[in-house]
Structure 1
Amino acid sequence: MNILIVHAHPEAQSFTTALKSTAQQSFEQQGHQVEISDLYMMKFNPVASQDDFTELNQPEYFNYALEQRNALKQNHLAADIEIEIEKVKRADLVIFTFPLYWTSVPAILKGWIDRVFVSGLFYGGKRFYNHGGMAGKKAMLCFTLGGRDYMFGENSIHGPIEQYLSPIQRGTLAYAGFEVLPPFIAYHVPYISQKDRQDILVDFEKYLKHLDELQPLKFPVLENFDEKMQPLN
């Protein structure tokens, strides 16, 4: 299996980075091929702009998604975007490792998604959910946060963690066609002991060794399309 880990943490000694390294070592020990996109180390540019295209199709009025579609056909995407797209294409499983920032992903990771998940390949036209461009691939979140596990739930102070994750798990990954595996969450990380952190890493390694046993998250399945809708080639 080919695995891509998209890592978003600025500190090489962080616990989030330890989770990334644990995943890499565990998969390699199992005989899988692993690629890493360490976004901070790469100094990845998260800003979607006209610079993402070597040539604009409609320079008089800039529409990012439409320019993505055209650039995909004409090979006009910026080189850094092309490199990341090829990594995703090679991957059977994409894992995102990051700290939860304000109930979401860090800006650098959001920018990676904005620029790499190009219209006309990942989504667009009839490409969404089970018909998305990444159908047949799997994706999973692995993240850290400061809150305790009991703070999240239907009647808890922060509410269900699933609500926080819906924009990326449903609105991004599932929408693009990925089969989304249940996330691995490391709670209260800044405040726990080193032993507790080590126990989480052990649990994570066990989690990764039994991915095939996990039931993917359930999202809408589209059986029929309006005949008037035409796919974008």
Structure 2
Amino acid sequence: MKKILIVSAHPEPASLTAALTTFAADRLRAAGHDVRVSDLYAMKWKATVDADDFPADAVDGRLDVMAVSERATLAGRLSPDVAAEQEKVLWSDAVILQFPLWWFSVPAILKGWVDRVFTAGFAYGPAVPPPYGEGPLAGRRALLSVTAGAGEPALSDRGVHGRLADLLHPLQHGLFFFTGMAPLEPFAVYGANELPDERYAAARREYGRRLDGLFTDEPVPFRPLAGGDYDRAMRLMPGVEAPGTSGPALHLRPRRAGGVG
């Protein structure tokens, strides 16, 4: 049995996001796993970081968020809602973020969950293991499950919106891999604004397959910071990438035959 945290972000309980959240929770529980769901809108999650998050660490003058959040985290003085979500992350063997793609990113409430929960001293900073490969949350899997109104061609390499993988790079690499989690290839439902029954059924089948592979599918092969590919300034060494590689793909290890990085 594994433990999975699903964080869901959509204001409409009858939305596709909510339906996929319920489907994922039911599928994983049927497989014998323990599942917790953080439905951020139902929880009325506070989406902004401010001094109220650190009630016992308030200081006069300038709010140094990293410094004060680290003090509060290490001393166990975070606000109760943040502390509860951190406990869920630590409890989990895998984290699934379920959300619609809004303005090429996550809904503000989900970004606020990241901002408030992944504090210094918990997810980054000198008091925890270094980022990009080790990290304080190592040993956990991570999956993005995204619904997008645009069609798949528009979110491809030559699509007008850009590649979905590039839009999700800040989460895949900058949140999950940075903190030590092993991100899987995202699951996406395209053309989600109008989804006839047959396409929804197909999406459920594919999502079910991805959920079944949550702990067996190969993670995205990001380069570890300490693996010899980066210099002391954390800049990729010249010539380690395949010819013609650019952008976020520079930080992927070339895959060998058989699909393993």
- Whether TM-score is above 0.5 comes out as yes
1:62 is matched with 63
| Cα distance between partner residues in 2 of 1:224 and 1:173 | 18
Gaps of 5+ in 1: 228-233
1:40 is matched with 41
2:178 corresponds, among 175, 179, 188, to 175
Matched AA of 1:25: D
SS at match of 1:41: coil
| Cα distance between partner residues in 2 of 1:211 and 1:136 | 13
2:75 is matched with 74
Does the Cα contact within 8 Å between 2:51 and 2:58 map onto a contact in 1? no
Output one character per residue of 1:3-33: Cα deviation in whole Å (capped at 9) or x when no partner.
Answer: 0000001111111111111110010000000
Gaps of 5+ in 2: 233-261
Q: CA deviation at 1:159?
A: 2.0
Q: CA deviation at 1:194?
A: 2.1
1:21 is matched with 22
* Identical pairs, percent: 35
| Cα distance between partner residues in 2 of 1:85 and 1:75 | 11
| Cα distance between partner residues in 2 of 1:192 and 1:51 | 41
My pick for the range that moved more, 49-58 or 65-74, is: 49-58
1:231 is matched with none
TM-score (norm 1): 0.92
1:128 corresponds, among 125, 131, 151, to 131
Q: CA deviation at 1:138?
A: 1.1
Q: CA deviation at 1:185?
A: 0.1
Matched AA of 2:40: L
| Cα distance between partner residues in 1 of 2:38 and 2:79 | 17
| Cα distance between partner residues in 1 of 2:159 and 2:48 | 35
My pick for the range that moved more, 30-39 or 50-59, is: 50-59
Matched AA of 1:74: A
Does the Cα contact within 8 Å between 2:7 and 2:37 map onto a contact in 1? yes
Task: Note closer, same or farther for the CA distance 1:57–1:11 as it changes in structure 2 (3 Å cut).
Answer: closer
Is 1:11 the equivalent of 2:12?
A: yes
Tell me the number of residue pairs that the alignment of Structure 1 and Structure 2 aligns: 227
SS at match of 1:191: coil
Q: CA deviation at 1:73?
A: 1.9
Query: RMSD value over aligned CA atoms?
Result: 1.8
| Cα distance between partner residues in 1 of 2:164 and 2:82 | 31
| Cα distance between partner residues in 2 of 1:111 and 1:124 | 19
2:203 corresponds, among 200, 203, 208, to 200
| Cα distance between partner residues in 2 of 1:74 and 1:115 | 16
Q: CA deviation at 1:127?
A: 2.6
Structure 1 residues 107-118: aligned runs within 5 Å: 107-118=108-119
Is 1:158 the equivalent of 2:157?
A: no
SS at match of 2:168: helix
TM-score (norm 2): 0.83
Matched AA of 2:101: L
SS at match of 1:217: coil
Does the Cα contact within 8 Å between 2:141 and 2:215 map onto a contact in 1? no
Task: Note closer, same or farther for the CA distance 1:203–1:224 as it changes in structure 2 (3 Å cut).
Answer: closer
